[in-house]
Amino acid sequence: MASSLNPLDLFDVRSELSEEEAMVQDSVARFVDDQVLPIIRECFEKHRFPKELIPGIAELGLFGSSIDGYGCAGLNAVSYGLICQELERGDSGLRSFVSVQSSLVMYPIHAFGSEEQKNRWLPPMARGEALGCFGLTEAHGGSDPGSMKTYAKRQGGDWVLNGSKMWITNGTVADVAVVWARTDEGIRGFLVERGTKGFDAPEIENKMSLRASVTSALFFDNVRLPASSMLPGVSSLRGPLSCLSQARYGISWGPIGAAQACLKQLLEYTETRELFGRPLSHTQLIQARLADMARRITTAQLLALRLGRLKDAGRLHPTQISVAKWNNVRMALDIARDCRDMLGGAGISAEYVPVRHMLNLESVITYEGTESVHQLVVGKELTGVSAF
Ligand code: TGC
Ligand code: FAD
């Protein structure tokens, strides 16, 4: 007899959602089913960013969805999490695109920008007419952004920016880059517009992961910026790290979608694949593996929902985000790898979703703090000692 429980939501987390949260989830799910799934495999295979999806994403209010005003939807944190989950059910690259625009570009402009900067950038970004990227990581060591070398120096009323950034999502397609640089007054954020003299953003080729997303290097060679390009609200590493907290929160939800997509396909596959005279799903080992996946997904869902409720109550601690990002990305990567294996040879084909999700999740477990970085954040919380 088929289960009366939903295998992709064993503890019925869905019933804990408000009407508005459920509506947000449903509308993004429809968008992913109708517009993302039919094209995403081809985008991944051809290393193509699906720009044509931008108007639909904007129409649903998914850019800067947590911001109140400036043309943004003003949704709660749980809704933002559900948006990430549904988008990543399609592809981690698409969720990344929206995470960066929302949490790493619109968030710092909203939190640390002047009124002029907010009015200039937030409404067109919400409409998807302007795109942004976030430049923190440098080639010599992304885990330690405090060691950044990119430097901005005051010259008259202007700033002059020199240095480079590496592995920057959306870099080549962005109209504006939020760039973090060392200055004589601490670490500052700057809004650098595409086309500014001395600024170049070439795309990184040959990626085997996040192939439907644009990743770039950023180069700054004596880039002259007006004083008005500096974000006035913060002058320390706290600025970029608080943006990371927003993005990591969303990434704690996103991979649940990727894992659900993999498990859903495997439930269908193991029911129809017959070996040794019976369907694969009738064997004990396969059932144990499927059960383990459902257990880990449901645990991740409960963790994400609790995380979201804490965030909405204003009680979320960055260490809790680290626990959830670590747990939930690891969960999804392990599930995608195991699903790939249970498909046998077919598992290496993009005709099935696990290998694409598996390759994508190799980036997700690395960016926004590697697994080791999050373990060390938790270790520091437990022992009071920073062991980075
Ligand atoms: P530390 O001395 O601990 O802190 C410096 C200042 O920052 C504050 N702070 C935070 N604030 C808000 N949220 C957080 N999570 C914060 N963590 C720390 C802290 O209170 C302090 O403030 P203040 O006012 O006293 O100055 O900094 P540290 O240099 O020891 O570094 C700690 C560490 C290793 C955890 C940090 O450097 C780190 O997180 N490293 C990993 C870097 C990383 O995650 N990079 C991600 C780049 S962006 C990206 O990957 C985008 S991927 C695309 C997508 O999102 O889809
Ligand atoms: P490293 O920091 O060199 O780490 C190498 C290894 O050392 C890792 O296994 C790490 O866990 C380990 N390690 C590091 N420190 C310690 C320690 N103290 N103890 C033990 N082990 C340690 N960055 C941005 O700023 N903006 C973006 O939009 C962006 N998008 C990205 C998109 C993609 C597809 C990828 C792959 C990366 C992106 N990044 C972005 C960069 C990302 O945040 C970094 O790759 C990440 O922070 C790790 O930095 P790193 O690659 O330099 O690795």
For the chain, percent of residues with pLDDT exceeding 90: 99
**Arithmetic mean of pLDDT over the chain:** 98
pLDDT reading at 205 higher than 70: yes
Confidence of residue 313 (pLDDT cuts 50, 70, 90): very high
Q: How far does the centroid of ligand 2 lie from the alpha carbon of residue 183, in Å?
A: 23
Angle (deg, nearest 10), helices 284-312 and 238-272 = 150
Q: Considering only CA atoms, which of 180, 184, 191, 166 is closest in space to residue 237?
A: 180
The protein residue with its alpha carbon nearest to ligand 1, atom 47, reads: 368
Is 3.40.50.2300 the CATH number for 13-126?
no
> 177: Cβ below 6 Å to ligand 1?
no
Q: Select from 1.25.40.10, 3.30.230.10, 3.30.70.980, 1.20.140.10 the CATH code of 238-383.
A: 1.20.140.10
State pLDDT tens for residues 180-199: 999 999 999 999 999 999 99
Inter-residue contact 133 to 171 (CB < 8 Å): yes
pLDDT band at residue 1 under the 50/70/90 scheme: very low
Domain layout of the chain by residue ranges = 13-126, 132-229, 238-383
Starting from the CA of residue 146, give the closest ligand: 1
**Is the pLDDT at 260 greater than 70, yes or no?**
yes
- For residue 154, the Cα-to-chain-centroid distance in whole angstroms is 34
Nearest CA to ligand 2 atom 49: 142
C-alpha dihedral sign at 43, 345, 294, 263: positive
Reading the block at residue 341, the tokens are 């294996």
pLDDT (0 to 100) of residue 85 = 99
Q: How far is the CA of 369 from the centre of ligand 1 (A)?
A: 9
Q: Are strands 274-275 and 215-226 parallel, antiparallel or unpaired?
A: unpaired
Q: What share of the chain in percent tops pLDDT 70?
A: 99
Q: pLDDT of 29-87, one tens digit each?
A: 999 999 999 999 999 999 999 999 999 999 999 999 999 999 999 999 999 999 999 99
368 counts as catalytic: yes
What pLDDT score was predicted for residue 296?
Answer: 98
Distance 265 CA to ligand 2 centre (A): 31
- What per-residue confidence (pLDDT) applies to 2? 52
User: Does the structure show a pLDDT above 80 at 176?
Assistant: yes
pLDDT of residue 372: 98
- Residue of 100, 248, 367 with the most ligand 2 atoms within 8 Å of its CB, for mutation: 367
Give the N- to C-terminal CA distance of the chain in Å, as an integer: 51
Q: Which of 21, 86, 138, 368 is catalytic?
A: 368
332 contacts 324 by C-beta, under 8 angstroms = no
> CA-to-CA distance for 117 and 123, rounded, in angstroms?
11
Q: How confident is the model at residue 91 (pLDDT cuts 50, 70, 90)?
A: very high
pLDDT tens digits, one per residue of 97-133: 999 999 999 999 999 999 999 999 999 999 999 999 9
How far apart are the CA of 14 and the centre of ligand 1, in A? 32
The pLDDT of residue 3: 57
CA dihedral 230, 235, 240, 243 (to 10 degrees): -80
Report the CATH fold assignment for 132-229. Answer: Butyryl-CoA Dehydrogenase, subunit A; domain 2 (2.40.110)
Tell me which of 165, 244, 365, 385 to substitute to probe ligand 1's pocket, judged by most ligand atoms within 8 Å of the beta carbon: 244
147 lines ligand 1 (CB under 6 A): no
**At residue 207, does pLDDT exceed 90?**
yes
Q: Which residues line ligand 2 (CB under 6 A)?
A: 100, 133-137, 141-143, 167-169, 210, 215, 363, 366-367, 370, 372-373, 388
